[in-house]
A and B are shown apart, each in its own frame.
Chain A
Amino acid sequence: MVRGDLPISDLLRIDFVDISDLAQTSGEWLRGGGPESDIVISSRIRLARNLAEYPFVNQAGPIERHEIENTLKDAISGISGNKLEYFSVDEFSPLDRQFLVERQLISREHAESEGARGVAIDPSERVSLMVNEEDHLRIQVMHSGLDLESAWKEISRIDDEIEKQVTYAFDDRLGYLTACPTNAGTGLRVSVMLHLPAVALTEQVEKIFRSLQKISVAVRGLYGEGSQPAGDFYQISNQITLGRDETNLIDTVADVVPTIIEYERKAREYLQEEKKEVLHDRISRAYGILRNAQTITSEETMHYLSRVRMGINMGLIKDLRIPTVNELFIYTQPAHLQKLSGSEMNSANRNIERARYLREHLDGSGSDNGGSTGGSGNGGSLA
Chain B
Amino acid sequence: MKCQYCDRTATLHITELVDGKATELHLCKEHAQEYLTQADAGGTPSIGAPSALSQHLTVGNTEEDLKRLDQKVCPVCGISFYEFRNSGRLGCPNDYECFQQELEGLLLNIHGETKHVGKRPSSGAPDLSSHTQVIQMRRQLTEAVSEENYELASQLRDEIRDLQAAFRRQRSGGGQDEGADAGQ
Asked whether any CB of chain A lies closer than 8 Å to the CB of B179, the reply is no
Could you give, for residues 114-149 of chain B, a 1 whenever the CB lies within 8 Å of some chain A CB and a 0 otherwise? Answer: 111111111101101001101100100010000000
Which of B29-37, B65-73, B103-111 touches A? B103-111
Residue in chain A with minimal CB distance to B125:
A172
| Most chain B beta carbons < 10 A, residue from A54, A160, A218, A220 | A54
Given A53-B164, A171-B125, A175-B118: A58 and B87 interface contact (C-beta under 8 Å)? yes
The answer to whether B90 and A243 have CB atoms under 8 Å apart is no
| Interface size class of chain B, counting residues whose CB lies under 8 Å from the partner chain | 35 or more
| A195–chain B nearest beta-carbon distance, Å | 20
Asked whether any CB of chain B lies closer than 8 Å to the CB of A360, the reply is no
The answer to whether A52 and B89 have CB atoms under 8 Å apart is no
Q: CA separation between A242 and B118, bound complex, in Å?
A: 9
CB-CB < 8 A to B112: which residues of A?
240, 243
Query: In the complex, which of the residues A54, A156, A175 contacts B135, with contact meaning CB atoms closer than 8 Å?
Result: A54
Which of A12-20, A76-84, A177-185, A309-317 touches B? A177-185
Asked whether any CB of chain A lies closer than 8 Å to the CB of B17, the reply is yes
1-31 of chain B: CB within 8 A of chain A = 1, 13, 15, 17, 20-22, 24
| Interface size class of chain A, counting residues whose CB lies under 8 Å from the partner chain | 35 or more
Asked whether any CB of chain A lies closer than 8 Å to the CB of B77, the reply is yes
Query: In the complex, which of the residues A50, A163, A240 contacts B111, with contact meaning CB atoms closer than 8 Å?
Result: A240
CB-CB < 8 A to A214: which residues of B?
1, 13
| B19–chain A nearest beta-carbon distance, Å | 9
CB-CB < 8 A to A186: which residues of B?
116, 118-119
| A184–chain B nearest beta-carbon distance, Å | 7
Query: In the complex, which of the residues A171, A175, A182, A240 contacts B128, with contact meaning CB atoms closer than 8 Å?
Result: A171
| B167–chain A nearest beta-carbon distance, Å | 6
The answer to whether A59 and B79 have CB atoms under 8 Å apart is yes
Residue in chain A with minimal CB distance to B78:
A59
Residue in chain A with minimal CB distance to B107:
A181
Could you give, for residues 151-184 of chain B, a 1 whenever the CB lies within 8 Å of some chain A CB and a 0 otherwise? Answer: 0000000000000100100110000000000000
Query: In the complex, which of the residues B17, B107, B131, B164 contacts A226, with contact meaning CB atoms closer than 8 Å?
Result: B17
The answer to whether A55 and B92 have CB atoms under 8 Å apart is yes
CB-CB < 8 A to A357: which residues of B?
none
Residue in chain A with minimal CB distance to B131:
A52
CB-CB < 8 A to B138: which residues of A?
64
| A158–chain B nearest beta-carbon distance, Å | 13
| B17–chain A nearest beta-carbon distance, Å | 6
| A212–chain B nearest beta-carbon distance, Å | 9
Given A245-B117, A246-B119: A171 and B93 interface contact (C-beta under 8 Å)? yes
Q: CA separation between A239 and B107, bound complex, in Å?
A: 12
| Chain A binding surface SS class | loop
CB-CB < 8 A to A166: which residues of B?
171
The answer to whether A55 and B91 have CB atoms under 8 Å apart is yes
CB-CB < 8 A to B170: which residues of A?
167
CB-CB < 8 A to B142: which residues of A?
61
Asked whether any CB of chain B lies closer than 8 Å to the CB of A168, the reply is yes
CB-CB < 8 A to B103: which residues of A?
181
The answer to whether B135 and A53 have CB atoms under 8 Å apart is yes
What are 30 residue pairs bridging A and B, where the CB atoms are less than 8 Å apart in the complex? Answer: A52-B128, A52-B132, A53-B131, A53-B135, A55-B76, A56-B91, A58-B89, A64-B138, A134-B89, A159-B119, A163-B123, A169-B128, A171-B116, A173-B114, A174-B96, A177-B93, A179-B89, A180-B88, A188-B118, A214-B1, A225-B21, A225-B22, A240-B111, A240-B112, A240-B113, A242-B114, A243-B113, A244-B113, A246-B119, A248-B117
Known: A56-B77, A179-B90, A242-B111. 11 other contacts (CB 8 A): A169-B128, A169-B131, A174-B116, A181-B90, A184-B96, A240-B112, A240-B113, A241-B111, A242-B113, A242-B115, A243-B111
